[in-house]
Amino acid sequence: MPARFTAARFTALVDSLPATVPFVGPETQERARGKVFRARIGANENAFGPSPKAVAAMQAEAAEAWKYCDPESHDLRHAVAAAHGVSPANVHVGEGIDGILGLVVRMLVEPGMPVVSSLGAYPTFNFHVAGFGGRLVTVPYRDDREDPQALVDAVRREKAPLVYIANPDNPMGTWWPAGDIRRMVEAVPDGTLLLLDEAYAEFAPDGVSPVLDPDDPRVLRLRTFSKAHGLAGIRVGYAIGAPALIAGFDKVRNHFGISRVSQAGALAAIRDADHVPRVRGAVAAARDRIGEIARRNGLSPLPSATNFVTVDCGRDGAFARRVLQALVARDVFVRMPGVAPLDRCIRIGCGRPGELDILADELPAALAEAARA
């Protein structure tokens, strides 16, 4: 019998897009495999977990979940401002950096407008640019780092209103010193916003995060509770920028997007001054261990200022992909960059000691299997 009703009609833009998810989660893979991973070291999660104070705050707030959240995230926004020495008017709290990226693109990019990023950089930004009809313009990495000068050159050539850079970088873990980022800000043309993604800033060495005027309209800094604070599952991030830009978020954001439980957990986390230094120490030890495992197997770990290590497998992307697949078959969840020449690498998260023991045990066999194919 023919259908009596027609389907909803997508807009022409949405109809032109593929239905895709930028990341295939470990849970998706586990469902397909019919078993869980023994080592979950592929999603750049903080395996050392959140502050116990954050956990206690979320447990206490769970009983109040019948109430709506504070739509202004007042206490959390003021705590973030105090932690960074800025005004609350400089702070927007959002649904992780991913959610904030979408709002920025929505505010600044109209269909057909050029937006500049690096080829192989964080794919969720590209997802939002496509979703709002922007035209993505990419420049290649240089020596496994994003190229600030090439990004600025592309902005000038294309007259782009928005340019994205992550420092430290995902997926390579590399970084630029603070002075280079300041010079990039100075070089951005009038009317262009530099999106500075600092998701991994707490793991970076001194001299990586620049001192910038929070009222500078040329740059918007993005931070998260997902990484060093170990709260990826509650989806809270924040932006620091000029008050006029921050006020613009209120025109487009989901005003009830940060739950009561999430606000309570993030607030307790940012007030716990002792937890992040402990995490930094554990991550540094894990980075060293991953590097040692890689070198023992004839691979080259890249220097990292993040909570993961990108490991050069020494051949091409096809070989690295076989290594990844062989590790997954051995219950070790890792990921890899998606475009050449970055895809000669795999990316290994700073897991707990037991997970890295599993990596050490399984990597030799995975490499041997990849070499035989």
What pLDDT is stored for residue 5 in this prediction? 79
Q: Are residues 227 and 288 in the same domain?
A: no
**Distances, alpha carbon 229 to alpha carbons 69, 257, 287, 334, in Å:** 21, 20, 18, 21
Residue 112: CB atoms within 10 Å: 8
> Of all residues in the chain, what percent are helix, strand and coil, respectively (each to 5)?
45, 15, 40
What does the CA dihedral 195, 245, 100, 176 come to, rounded to 10 degrees? 20
Residue 195's nearest CA partner among 223, 175, 170, 171 is 223
Does residue 333 sit within a domain? yes
Does residue 9 sit within a domain? no
Host H or E run for residue 291: helix 275-296
Q: Are residues 28 and 123 in the same domain?
A: no
Host H or E run for residue 224: strand 219-224
Does residue 5 sit within a domain? no
State pLDDT tens for residues 92-150. 999 999 999 999 999 999 999 999 999 999 999 999 999 999 999 999 999 999 999 99
Q: Are residues 88 and 206 in the same domain?
A: yes
How far is the C-alpha of 82 from the C-alpha of 48, rounded, in Å?
26
What pLDDT is stored for residue 20 in this prediction? 84
Q: Domain tally for the chain?
A: 2
Domain encompassing residue 216: 52-271
Q: Are residues 295 and 198 in the same domain?
A: no
Residue 307 tokens, joined: 């909570």
Residue 303's nearest CA partner among 290, 313, 314 is 290
**251 pLDDT more than 70:** yes
What pLDDT is stored for residue 267 in this prediction? 98
Does residue 11 sit within a domain? no
Complete edge-to-edge strand list for the sheet that includes strand 300-301:
300-301, 308-312, 345-349
Of the given ranges (21-35, 59-73, 219-233), which has the lowest mean pLDDT? 21-35
Vertex 215 angle, CA 211 and 218, to 5°: 85
pTM assigned to the model: 0.95
**231 pLDDT more than 70:** yes
